[in-house]
């Protein structure tokens, strides 16, 4: 049978059924006592039964279902190693506000809340920085002195600073603030009129505080992670920061950032 | 939480600077036996805030700026002292923060400028002590308390070349703002001028001259003069400053010892240093035709531009030195000079009285008049005779034309310089 004929037969059957239905609709409505199924309707209950409740879930299943899967989605343990590069605006002893110096350093960051907290939000909040910042001023020069009298100074800051990060939505960015402390180790060598240098050093308390923007960028795409699972590839961590040190009675400012990897 | 608060409180307590009272034991760059500078323990006896280097003698200020000769600014002669200060001290600056390390009760500077500032304060303290001694009982309250604009910016808008408007490699006493100003070093790469004891003593002498000879005017009316009278005044001011600067080197504890060549510490130009050495006995410290011509004919701006005030000053200092030093009467001469600045007694008027009496007749302010004013305050007959002979000779005075009434009759012209 051709397709045309099949369609024609279906159309005729359909139109016949529609005609029969219309004919039935046109029939007069029966009185109540004339209904065919009156007896059946009277048998229905006047109220519905209460909705049945599901059976209680066993505890072991409940806990398992509520457990956060955040650590599975982002399985990094949150241990970072970063290289710091910045401008150190040293408190100016000569009263010129600041002395600009270069600064480098190494930072180890532990996002400890990723280890101890399971909540998807809170595990992104806390971290701890252990940092060594180092800078050097070597004369002669305007800050270091003249060719006949000059001072070479090394500044080392060793600090431990807890931080609080606030993730920016679902982006890899987070702003953070931190307050911590440590020590400043300074050495100074004064050279005068070609004589042997005289050296002095000191360890002084340092209060550290600051703000910054931190990014943790995954090396591996989400699709790749779903297909292949976590293969130990770390994240790239990048940071921009404004950090200040209260060095004894002096105030130093660091403007810069760091870059490294996060495991 | 309590622990955190306690830690922070301890941190801020530890963060305070050294809270010590004078005398403060410090290390400064002072002089050793071979007359070289080096770290040496000393005390600052007048300091009240060691990290800000403020004390009863001077107060160091960082980041300050002075601007003068602004073509759009008011006439400085028309301003009150306060108005002048506000007009020219264009940046007030703030405290310096000496980086000091406490080692067993001795404070060690820990960077170059901290060494420089501690040494600078020490230099001012020594200079003040020198003047306090030769003021000989006279009150020195007004001498103390000046600001030292450390690494200060001094911009002279009257200089045509913008590249040369900002002062470098210098230290000045600028009475307009009643402050010393230590300008940044640039070409001078030896001992910075503020660390040079003799130079600081020299500048302190300018403050003395302003307070006494100019009656403590911020912008002395005498500066309206021009040409010979003002050239003479400038030369006298520089000469007395050289003499006192040398005097400070003589008496300062842990100082270099008497040195008329104190400029050699800071200037590499040996010829320039020798030209300022007023102890040299040859004919170099005699009036030359060129200097005489400059005094008489150059406008003061030009006179100073070519450094003639220093040449004249060296001759005056040389005369005073040769008069007093060979007979061991240095301190008598120094005290006589203090008296000569300002003395309103009728027998021996001071420089201030000479200037004030001739505000409208500045032509009377001559080398002879200035010399006679100094001579009138020298008490010893022999010293006065020697001083007269030296000034007469080295300044090529003409007592036949302008009398020197306080020159003893026994005095004759010295024999060093050609007539």
List, as ranges, residues 184-213 from B with C-beta within 8 Å of A. 184-185, 188-192, 195
| Pairing mode of beta strands B179-182, B146-150 | parallel
Residues in CB range of B179: below 8 A, 6 or more apart: B61, B64, B66, B89, B146, B147, B148, B149, B152, B173
Start-to-end CA distance of chain A, whole Å, equals: 70
Q: Is A98 on the interface with B (CB under 8 A)?
A: no
Nearest chain A Cα distance for residue B127, angstroms: 22
| Pairing mode of beta strands A149-167, A126-138 | antiparallel
Distances (CA, A) of B383 to B372, B374, B380: 14, 12, 5
Q: Which of A140, A153, A248 sits opposite B17 (nearest CB)?
A: A248
Higher pLDDT among residues B359 and A10, named by residue: B359
pLDDT of residue B325: 96
Element (H, E) at B27: strand B24-31
pTM of the model: 0.86
Average pLDDT of every residue of chain B: 94
With a cut of 70, say whether residue B6 has pLDDT above it.
no
Beta bridge mates, B42: B26
Nearest chain B Cα distance for residue A213, angstroms: 24
pLDDT digits (tens, 9 = 90+) for B137-166: 999 999 999 999 999 999 999 999 999 999
Q: Do B7 and A181 touch (CB under 8 A)?
A: yes
List chain A residues with CB under 8 Å of B192. Answer: 145-146, 149
CB count within 10 Å of CB B23 equals 12
Cα–Cα dist A63/B45, whole Å = 75
Give the CB-side neighbour count of residue B150, counting CA atoms within 13 A: 32
pLDDT band with cut points at 50, 70 and 90 for residue B244: very high
List chain A residues with CB under 8 Å of B188. Answer: 146
Taking phi over 0 as left and psi of -120 to 50 as alpha, with beta for the rest, A213 belongs to beta
Vertex B183 angle, CA B179 and B188, to 5°: 140
Residues in CB range of A257: below 8 A, 6 or more apart: A84, A85, A86, A212, A238, A239, A240, A241
Concatenated DSSP letters for B59-78? EEEES-EEEE--TTSPPGGG
Structural domains in chain B plus CATH codes = 16-195 (3.10.170), 196-419 (no CATH)
List, as ranges, residues 24-83 from A with C-beta within 8 Å of B. none
Q: Is B265 exposed, middle or buried (0-12, 13-18, 19+ CB in 10 A)?
A: buried
| Residue A79 is assigned to a structural domain of this protein | yes
Rg of chain B, C-alpha, whole Å: 23
Q: Is A101 on the interface with B (CB under 8 A)?
A: no
Q: Do B151 and A96 touch (CB under 8 A)?
A: yes
Mean pLDDT across A24-49 = 58
List chain A residues with CB under 8 Å of B5. Answer: none
Nearest chain B Cα distance for residue A122, angstroms: 19
Distances (CA, A) of B125 to A88, B137, B240, B244, B251: 34, 18, 19, 14, 12
pLDDT band with cut points at 50, 70 and 90 for residue A13: very low
Higher pLDDT among residues B6 and A118, named by residue: A118
Q: Do A149 and B185 touch (CB under 8 A)?
A: no
- Give percent of chain B with pLDDT exceeding 70: 96
**8 Å CB contact between B275 and B309:** no
Cα–Cα dist A231/A218, whole Å = 12
pLDDT band with cut points at 50, 70 and 90 for residue A184: very high
With a cut of 60, say whether residue A10 has pLDDT above it.
no
Concatenated DSSP letters for chain A? --HHHHHHHHHHHHHHHHHHHHHHHTSPPPPGGG-SSHHHHHTS-SSPPPPPPPPPPPHHHHHHHHS--HHHHS----EEEEEEEEEEEEE-TTSSSEEEEEEEEEEEEE-THHHH--STTGGGTEEEEEEEEEEEEESSBTTTB-SSEEEEEEEEEEEEEEEEEEE-TTSSEEEEEEEEEEEEEEEEEEEETTSPPEEEEEEEEEEEEEEEEEEEEESS-HHHHHHH---S--EEEEEEEEEEEEETTEEEEEEEEEEEEE-
Q: Which of A145, A198, A250 sits opposite B97 (nearest CB)?
A: A250
With a cut of 70, say whether residue A161 has pLDDT above it.
yes
pLDDT digits (tens, 9 = 90+) for B73-129: 999 999 999 999 999 999 999 999 999 999 999 999 999 999 999 999 999 999 999
Residue A167, domain extent: 71-262
pLDDT digits (tens, 9 = 90+) for B261-296: 999 999 999 999 999 999 998 889 999 999 999 999
| Residue A229 is assigned to a structural domain of this protein | yes
pLDDT band with cut points at 50, 70 and 90 for residue A45: low
pLDDT band with cut points at 50, 70 and 90 for residue B14: low
pLDDT band with cut points at 50, 70 and 90 for residue A227: confident
pLDDT digits (tens, 9 = 90+) for B33-43: 777 899 999 99
**DSSP letter (8 states) at residue B285:** G
Q: Which of B112, B117, B150 sits opposite A143 (nearest CB)?
A: B112
pLDDT digits (tens, 9 = 90+) for B296-344: 999 999 999 999 999 999 999 999 999 999 999 999 999 999 999 999 9
pLDDT band with cut points at 50, 70 and 90 for residue A84: very high
With a cut of 50, say whether residue A3 has pLDDT above it.
no
With a cut of 60, say whether residue B190 has pLDDT above it.
yes
List, as ranges, residues 186-205 from A with C-beta within 8 Å of B. 186, 188, 190, 192-193, 195, 198, 200-202, 205
| Residue A183 is assigned to a structural domain of this protein | yes
pLDDT band with cut points at 50, 70 and 90 for residue A64: low
Residue of chain A with shortest Cα separation from B268: A148
Read off φ and ψ for residue B41, nearest 5 degrees. Answer: -80, 140
**8 Å CB contact between B322 and B316:** no
- Give percent of chain A with pLDDT exceeding 90: 51
Average pLDDT of every residue of chain A: 81
Residue of chain B with shortest Cα separation from A180: B8
Total number of domains in chain A:
1
pLDDT of residue A178: 97
**8 Å CB contact between B96 and B55:** no
**DSSP letter (8 states) at residue B362:** G
pLDDT of residue A92: 95
Residue of chain A with shortest Cα separation from B92: A95
The CATH number for A79's domain is 2.40.160.20
| Residue A10 is assigned to a structural domain of this protein | no
| Residue A218 is assigned to a structural domain of this protein | yes
């Amino acid at each position: 049978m051709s397709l045309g004929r099949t369609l024609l037969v279906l159309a005729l059957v359909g139109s016949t059924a529609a005609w029969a239905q219309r004919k039935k609709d046109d029939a007069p409505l029966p009185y109540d006592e004339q209904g065919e199924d009156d007896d059946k309707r009277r048998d229905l209950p006047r109220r519905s039964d209460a909705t049945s409740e599901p059976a209680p879930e066993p505890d072991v299943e409940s806990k398992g279902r509520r457990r956060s899967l955040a650590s599975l989605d982002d399985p990094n343990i949150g241990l970072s190693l970063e290289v710091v590069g910045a401008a150190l605006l040293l408190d100016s002893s000569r009263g010129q506000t600041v002395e600009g110096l270069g600064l480098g350093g190494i930072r180890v960051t532990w996002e400890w809340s990723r280890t101890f907290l399971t909540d998807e939000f809170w595990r992104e909040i806390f971290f701890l920085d252990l940092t060594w910042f180092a800078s050097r001023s070597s004369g002669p020069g305007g800050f270091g002195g003249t060719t006949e009298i000059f001072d070479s100074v090394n500044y080392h800051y060793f600090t431990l600073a807890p931080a609080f990060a606030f993730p920016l939505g679902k982006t890899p960015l987070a702003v953070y603030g931190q307050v911590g402390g440590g020590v400043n180790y300074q050495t100074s060598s004064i050279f005068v009129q070609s004589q042997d240098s005289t050296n002095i050093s000191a360890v002084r308390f340092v209060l550290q505080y600051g703000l910054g923007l931190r990014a943790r960028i995954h090396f591996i795409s989400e699709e790749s992670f779903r297909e292949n699972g976590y293969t130990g590839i770390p994240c790239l961590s990048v940071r921009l920061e404004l950090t200040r040190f209260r060095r004894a009675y002096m105030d130093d400012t660091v403007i810069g950032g760091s870059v490294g990897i996060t495991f | 939480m309590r622990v955190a608060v306690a830690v922070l409180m301890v941190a801020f307590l530890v963060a305070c600077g050294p809270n010590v009272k004078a005398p403060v034991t410090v290390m400064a760059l002072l002089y050793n036996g071979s007359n070289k500078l080096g770290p040496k323990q000393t005390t600052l006896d007048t300091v009240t805030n060691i990290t800000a280097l403020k004390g009863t003698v001077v107060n160091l200020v960082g980041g300050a700026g002075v601007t003068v000769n602004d073509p759009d600014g008011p006439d400085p002669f028309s301003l009150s002292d306060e108005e002048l200060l506000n007009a020219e001290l264009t940046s007030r600056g703030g405290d310096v923060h000496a980086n000091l390390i406490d080692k067993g009760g001795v404070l060690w500077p820990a960077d170059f400028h901290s060494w420089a500032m501690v040494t600078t304060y020490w230099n001012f303290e020594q200079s003040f002590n020198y003047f306090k001694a030769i003021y000989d009982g006279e009150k020195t309250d007004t001498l103390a308390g000046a600001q030292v604009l450390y690494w200060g910016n001094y911009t002279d808008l009257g200089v045509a070349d913008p590249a040369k408007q900002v002062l470098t490699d210098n230290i000045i006493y600028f009475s307009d703002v009643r402050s010393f100003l230590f300008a940044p070093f640039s070409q001078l790469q030896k001992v910075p001028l503020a660390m040079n004891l003799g130079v600081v003593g020299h500048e302190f002498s300018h403050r003395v001259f302003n307070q006494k000879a100019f009656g403590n005017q911020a912008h002395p009316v005498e500066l309206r003069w021009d040409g010979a009278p003002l050239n003479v005044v400038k030369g006298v001011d520089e000469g007395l400053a050289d003499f006192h600067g040398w005097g400070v080197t003589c008496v300062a504890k842990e100082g270099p010892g008497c040195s008329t060549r104190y400029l050699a510490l800071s200037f590499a130009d040996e010829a320039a240093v020798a030209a300022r050495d007023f102890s040299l006995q040859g004919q170099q410290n005699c009036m030359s035709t060129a200097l005489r011509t400059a005094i008489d004919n150059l406008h003061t701006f030009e006179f100073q531009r070519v450094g003639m005030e220093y040449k004249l000053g060296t001759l005056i200092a040389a005369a005073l030195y040769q008069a007093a030093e060979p007979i061991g009467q240095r301190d008598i001469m120094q005290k006589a000079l203090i008296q000569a600045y300002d003395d309103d007694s009728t027998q021996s008027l001071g420089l201030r009285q000479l200037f004030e009496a001739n505000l409208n007749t500045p032509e009377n302010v001559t080398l002879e008049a200035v010399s006679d004013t100094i001579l009138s305050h020298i008490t010893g007959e022999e010293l006065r005779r020697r001083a007269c002979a030296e000034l007469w000779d080295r300044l090529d005075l003409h007592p036949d034309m302008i009398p020197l009434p306080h020159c003893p009759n026994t005095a004759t012209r010295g024999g060093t310089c050609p007539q």
